[in-house]
Structure formats: C-alpha cells, structure tokens
Amino acid sequence: MVSLHRALLLSISLITFILPTAFAATSLTASVDKNPAMFGEVITLQLQLDEKVDAGALDYSALHEDFRVTGPSVSQSMQIVNGQASQSTSWTLSLFPNKTGDLTIPAFTVAGQRSEPIVLQVQPASQQSQQGAELFLQNSFSREQAYVQQVLYYDVKIYFKGELQSGSLTQPELAGAEINQLGKDKDGTEIVNGERYQTITRRYSVIPQKSGELTLAAPGFTGEMIDRSINQYDYFARTKRVGAQGENLTLTVKPGPAQAKAWLPAELVTITEEWSTPVDQLVQGEPVTRTITLTAVDLADHQLPDLTITGTDGIKIYPEQPQSRKVERNGRLIAQKVVSMALIADKAGALTLPPVQVDWWNTNTDQAATAELPAVTLQIAPGSAPVSTPVVMTADSSAGKAQASAGWFSPQWQLNYLGLVLLTGWLVSIFALFAWRKWQSAAGQNTIATTTAESTLRFNSHKLSKACQDNDASAAKTQMLRWACQVINPQIQSLSELAAQIDDPALAQQIRLLSFDGYQPAGQHWQGQPLLSAWQSYRHIRPNDGERLASLYPTQ
C-alpha cells in the first residue's frame, strides 16, 4: 500500500513538472521566401515561435534601416496530436530593400528565444529581370528639374498579369516637399516585351519647399493574387502574396530667379471678368455685380495670391470674401480664385476702372510674365431717383441730413408727371402710416398679445443667418427690421432709417444694398453672405447696455 502511494505521488510530481514545460517556447525561426532577390521585389519575412504570445511581442524596428516594411500579419494556432498539444505564433512582414548589396536581417528575440540573422543578397534590377515578371512597378517624375514651389507630377504605374484580388500602395516620401494624390487611379493595358499587362496608374502632385538635391523614396506595392500555377481552371485556387517596389528618384530643385517680380511659378495664368449688367448699360445708383476669376495651370489653390483691386472716383466697391478652389483636368492641377464685388456709381458719365495685374513666372518659357485684366470704361446713365448710397453717416449726423435734404431741392430735379405721382403716393403713405400708428397705439392699450404671437414677431438670429445663406432678401429684410426695433431704435420703420443710425460703415453699406434689392435688373440676385459677415462683426452691445444689464442683478 505504501509503494502504491509513493508511485502515485511520483506520477503527480512528473505531471506537474512536465505540463508547464510542454508549452514553453523552444525555438524562434526566421525565413525569407527568396534569397537572392532583385531590387524592387517584395521579400516576405516569416518568423515563427512555438508558443502562443501577444501579437505585439515582436520588435522589428531594426528593419527600417535597410528596408521599407509593411505589416506584420499575425496568426496563432494550436494543435493536439496523439494527446500532445502544441501552439505557435507567426509574424509575416513584407520587406522592400532600400539599396542593393548584402543586407542583414538582424536576429530577433521573443519570449526568451532568439532567431538567427539572415544575410540577404539584393541584386540590381534590369529590364531583363522584368521580362515575364508577374508583377512589377515603374515610377517617374514629369521633369527632373524644378523650381521651389513649382508643381510637378509623380506617376506610379503597376504592371501585373493574372487576377489581382487586393493590394495596397504605400505613400511616396520626399523630405522638404508637399505630396498629394491627384485624382483617382486609372486602369489600362500595355504590351511589354511582347506580353500584355494590366496597369493601374496613380498620379501625385509634388510641390518642393526647398532647393537642392531631393531624393524621393519610392512607394511599395503588396497584394494578393490568385495562384493558378497548378490548375488554371481551379476556381477554388488559393491566393499568393505578391509585391513590387519602384526606384528611388532624385529631383533637382532650383531657387527662384532673382529677376522674378513676384514668385508664382506656373504654366499659364489668366484673369477674366463677368458683369451682371453690360458695362455700357449701367445706371447711376443701381448696384451691379462684377466677378473676377484668377486661373492658374500647374498651381495649387493655396498658392494663388490675393488680387489688388482699386476703384475710381465716382464708384463705390464692396468686395465679398474670395473663394478658392482646385480641380484636376487631364492629369493637370488647375487652381482658381474668384472674387465677387458689388459696385454702385454715384455719378453719371464715363468712369474708368484701372487694370488688374498679377505677376508670375512662366515655367514653359522660363521668363517673367504678367497676367492683366485691361482697364474697363463704364457708361453710367443718370438715375431717375436721388442716390442715397454715397451718403455715409458720421458723428455729425445733422450735416449729413442737411446735405441729403438739399439734394431733393437742387435745380437739377424737375417735377414731372411721374414725380407728381410719386409725391402723391408718398403723401398718401405718410397719412396711412400716421393713421395706422394711431390705431396700433389704441389697440395696444386694450389688447394683450399672446406669448406665441409675440415670439413670432421677435428677432431670430438663426432665421437671419438662414435668409442670408439662402440669399432670401425678403426674409433678411424682415429680420433686420425686427433686430433694429429691438436693439437700435423702436421707431425704425425702414432699412434706410436703419442704415442712417448704424455707426459701422461696412454694415450700413450692406443694409443699403439690401434695400436696393427690389430695384435690381432682371437676372441679378442679392447675395446675403456679405451682410451676414458684417452683421456678425458689428458691435451689438451699445454703450448704455451695461447700465441696463446692471439693473437685472439688484443688490438688495
């Protein structure tokens, strides 16, 4: 009985000793799928550990010195054969050599186990090595020399035979340059060395930010392709990993020439304009919209300069915020800056606007150039009504009012049939307004407005914002008048009265332009964004508001 007890204890001790070591790591192996390899080929490195560990246990940062690395993909497995269990963890990485020659894949250490280093022979690629290749990659610059901030193009073309299931292309890297993908990938076919290949082309715009010799690290491509090597009619064939890398290219970047008036390198720069009304059909006091567009080929939108637009005596100019945009046309980058402005002439006759000029550098001729919008002469016809727009209220408001009143009784104004009708209508309106106010005052003493009715007549900043964004002049007028009655002066009944009491010239001019909406020519629409911007920038708290607000917090 004692012998049996001792044997049982011995068995338990052996099991206790063996089980912890059954799953202990015994080896870490490293292998590559090809050696030697051609430069530009993808080398698959696989490391396998016979133990289940965390996927992040492998540190492969030492590979970045000689290789561009993608991955890793990690897999874990467990097997039980004849009662014996085994586990493993494997890492698969794709390596793209940065240079030719003998490159060393260093030893790795995971879970106390160390792999053996691998000496990899990387041979230079040649045209013969690509002949018959299943997949290869070519890359090129649109030019080998460029100026600082000049846009050039970098193309990456992938050639492949067979069925490509998936793939990814790494981003090209060039220190000291701005690189952006341009447009979408383009599919095609080409015949190389008598064999037809499918192609995928990706184009990038490259803008160097400094001069000197810059080296672009070529991107690498990895993907999965159907393996038809055994049976080309097998629809359940497995996929195999494929990859390729382009060639590192050197770009010579020159500084901007000293003779350039302004540094704007492009292939073509133009300036055009559009008018909402023909320039020989303008009327004094009526607003007109002028749109100037600056267009450049082989230039980014953020590189376009601001336009210098000057006016002339007799014309007021109210520019909007410039709008920049860029598009891709036939693989070229085209940038535009659009500036719209409202113009109001305060006198009749021929008025000339000065030219608009932009200096740039022609990269085709390698010479300085100037894009110019010629001077334009406007023929302004006399207006049928007095012009109030040029009158800007200042601190001495009484002088401004006297000047405006004198204009109505100047000898140049003659009373005709139309003027008599307008005068009669004006007197009727004054009488009706007086009667309406009197009735409203009486009704207000006997009627208490409901909360709902009162809320619908209050100013709403969100409604004003939406009206300006939708270019809805009617809704904008309603909200501006409600705002005027609640914030500026309860007696304000028109936009002209509001503009006269605003001490901000920008906002006052936008309010006047809004008041002109009903007198604009057919096809011309009011633009609300300038009014919204001016209103948002206006100092809404008046000097005596602080005293009013203080009463809301009594001390007793």
Gap between the Cα atoms of 442 and 484, Å rounded: 23
Gap between the Cα atoms of 103 and 22, Å rounded: 36
pLDDT surpasses 50 at 305: yes
pLDDT digits (tens, 9 = 90+) for 354-386: 999 999 999 999 999 999 999 999 999 997 654
Q: Are residues 138 and 248 in the same domain?
A: yes
Gap between the Cα atoms of 457 and 450, Å rounded: 11
Q: Are residues 147 and 242 in the same domain?
A: yes
pLDDT surpasses 50 at 490: yes
Average pLDDT on 534-544 reads: 67
395 within some domain: no
Q: Are residues 139 and 108 in the same domain?
A: no
**Most confident region among 25-34, 101-110, 387-396, 417-426 by mean pLDDT:** 101-110
What is the band of 539 on the pLDDT scale with cuts at 50, 70, 90? low
pLDDT digits (tens, 9 = 90+) for 331-349: 899 999 999 999 999 889 9
What is the band of 88 on the pLDDT scale with cuts at 50, 70, 90? confident
Domain with 339 in it? 266-381
Which stretch of 55-59, 189-193, 315-319, 493-497 has the lowest confidence by average pLDDT? 493-497
CB 214 within 8 A of CB 251: yes
What is the band of 486 on the pLDDT scale with cuts at 50, 70, 90? confident
CATH code of the domain containing 166 = 2.60.40
CATH code of the domain containing 326 = 2.60.40.740
pLDDT for 553 equals: 39
Label the pairing between strands 118-123 and 37-38: parallel
Gap between the Cα atoms of 153 and 492, Å rounded: 60
| CB atoms inside a 10 Å sphere around CB 267 | 17
Name, in order, each residue with C-beta under 8 angstroms of 506's C-beta and a sequence gap of 6 or more: 534, 537
pLDDT for 210 equals: 93
468 within some domain: yes
Residue type, 437: R
Q: Which of 83, 103, 123 corresponds to the end of one domain?
A: 123
pLDDT digits (tens, 9 = 90+) for 492-530: 878 877 887 888 888 888 887 887 776 555 556 788 888
Average pLDDT on 74-90 reads: 82
pLDDT surpasses 80 at 17: no
Q: Which of 65, 92, 123 corresponds to the end of one domain?
A: 123
CB 50 within 8 A of CB 98: no
CB 149 within 8 A of CB 182: no
Q: Are residues 160 and 101 in the same domain?
A: no
Q: Are residues 490 and 472 in the same domain?
A: yes
pLDDT for 450 equals: 40
465 within some domain: yes
CB 316 within 8 A of CB 516: no
pLDDT for 433 equals: 67
The whole-chain average pLDDT of the chain stands at: 79
Q: Are residues 59 and 137 in the same domain?
A: no
Q: Are residues 369 and 308 in the same domain?
A: yes
487: DSSP letter: I
86 within some domain: yes
Quickly list H helices, 447-486. 451-456, 461-469, 473-483
Average pLDDT on 65-85 reads: 81
More confident of the two residues 315 and 394 = 315
325 within some domain: yes
pLDDT digits (tens, 9 = 90+) for 145-196: 999 999 999 999 999 988 888 888 888 989 899 999 998 999 999 988 888 8
pLDDT surpasses 50 at 435: yes
pLDDT for 384 equals: 66
pLDDT digits (tens, 9 = 90+) for 205-223: 999 999 999 999 888 888 8
pLDDT surpasses 50 at 309: yes
Angle (CA) 214 215 216, round 5°? 120
| CB atoms inside a 10 Å sphere around CB 502 | 20
Phi, psi of 514 (to 5 degrees): -65, -40
Q: Are residues 249 and 283 in the same domain?
A: no
Q: Which of 123, 157, 192 corresponds to the end of one domain?
A: 123
pLDDT surpasses 60 at 76: yes
| CB atoms inside a 10 Å sphere around CB 200 | 18
**Most confident region among 29-33, 203-207, 397-401, 406-410 by mean pLDDT:** 203-207
549 within some domain: no
Average pLDDT on 318-323 reads: 90
Percent of the chain with pLDDT over 70: 75
> pTM of this prediction?
0.56
What is the band of 543 on the pLDDT scale with cuts at 50, 70, 90? very low
Q: Are residues 131 and 249 in the same domain?
A: yes
Q: Count of domains in the chain?
A: 4
Per-position DSSP letters for 379-393, written without gaps between them: EEEPPSS---TT---
108 within some domain: yes
Q: Which two tokens stand for residue 550?
A: 């203080």
Q: How many residues does the chain have?
A: 556
360 within some domain: yes
Q: Are residues 171 and 288 in the same domain?
A: no
Alpha-carbon separation of residue 233 from 133, 227, 229 (angstroms): 21, 11, 10
Q: Are residues 133 and 200 in the same domain?
A: yes
Q: Are residues 246 and 295 in the same domain?
A: no
pLDDT for 9 equals: 52
Gap between the Cα atoms of 319 and 339, Å rounded: 7
More confident of the two residues 81 and 206 = 206
